[in-house]
Amino acid sequence: MKKNDGVNNAFIKLQESANGRVAVKLQKNHFARNGAENFYGKVERRTHTAQNILDAMAKSLPFVDLGTVASVLNAYANTVLESLAAGNAVKFGELGTFYIAGKGTVAGADGKPSLTVKFSATQLLKDAVQNVEVSSSGYSAPSGSIVRVTDVSTGRTDGNLTAGGSVLVEGESLKVGGEDSGIWFASVDEGGRLSDDESGWIKVDTALTYNLPSKLLFAIPQSAVAGKYRIVVRTRYAGKSGYERKYLVEAVSDTVEIA
C-alpha cells in the first residue's frame, strides 16, 4: 500500500463555503483622480481564534480527538514557518500560497530590501466570500476624541484648569504630528460654540511632555487668560506606518475654564 492510500484529502479539495454577514466602514479615497469623490470599504474584522476553529472542527469530526488535531495543526504551522525561513514559497492546499516579497525601497542598485511574507489567494478562496452579505455600510469623517481633561495641579476633571499650570488630555487619535497639526485653546461664546475666527485661538507652542495617541500632557499657554475655552487637537499622524494622513483629524474637548 502506498503511504498516502486512504488519506482523506478534503483539505486539498475544498468545495464548501459558508455564507455570513459583515459590516463595512467607508473611507474617503484621497488619491482619486480629477477631483472625483469616491470611497473604499474597510470591513470591520471579526476574528476566529484557533480555539474557535477547533470547536468548529469538533462538530464535523466527532470521532477525532481534538488534541491530535491541534498537534497536527501545530506541526503543519511549524513546517510552513521552517519552509518559509528556508526561502521557499508554500502552497496552502487550495486556499493559496504564502510567499516571500520585498518590503519598501533601497538606496542604490545593489541594495538589499527588507523581506516580508504575503499571501496569494486562489480563486476558490476569493469565491468563498462572494456570497457574504454586507449588513451595513456607511461613511463618517475620521476624527479623534477627547474623553477626559485633567488639571495636573489639582487632579480635577470637571473642566476647571489652573492658569499657568499643566493639563492632561486623554482620548483617541490624539498624537500630534504633520503639517498644520497642533493644540489650541479656542475661545467659545456663551453657548459653548467655537469661535469661527481661528486667528484668535491660542496655540500650545511649548514641548509636549506626553505626545501619545491616547494621552497628551502639556503646559497651558501663558497667554491663555482667565475664561472659557475648548481644547482643539489637530493631527495628521497615521500610526506606526510613518505616513502622514492627507487630511487633518480633529478632536475637540468639552468646555473648560481657566481661572
What pLDDT score does 20 carry? 82
d(CA 191, CA 194): 9
What pLDDT score does 117 carry? 95
What pLDDT score does 64 carry? 85
Which single residue is written with the C-alpha cell 468548529? 56
- Three-state helix/strand/coil letters over the chain: CCCCCCCCCCCCCCCCCCCCEEEEEEEECCCCHHHCCCEEEEECCCCCCHHHHHHHHHHHCCCCCHHHHHHHHHHHHHHHHHHHHCCCCEEECCCEEEEEEEECCCCCCCCCCEEEEEEEECHHHHHCCCCCEEEEEEECCCCCEEEEEEECCCCCCCCEECCCCEEEEEEECCCCCCCCCEEEEEEECCCCCECCCHHHCEECCCCCCEEECCEEEEECCCCCCCEEEEEEEEEEECCCCCCEEEEEEEEEEEEEEEC
The per-residue pLDDT string of the chain (259 residues; one tens digit each, 9 = 90 and over) reads 444 554 555 555 554 455 688 888 787 775 666 667 788 787 887 888 888 888 888 888 888 888 888 888 899 999 999 999 999 999 988 899 999 999 888 888 888 889 999 999 999 999 888 888 888 887 766 778 999 999 999 999 999 999 999 999 999 999 999 999 999 999 998 888 888 889 999 999 999 999 999 999 999 999 999 999 999 999 999 877 667 888 889 999 999 999 9
What pLDDT score does 104 carry? 82
What pLDDT score does 44 carry? 81
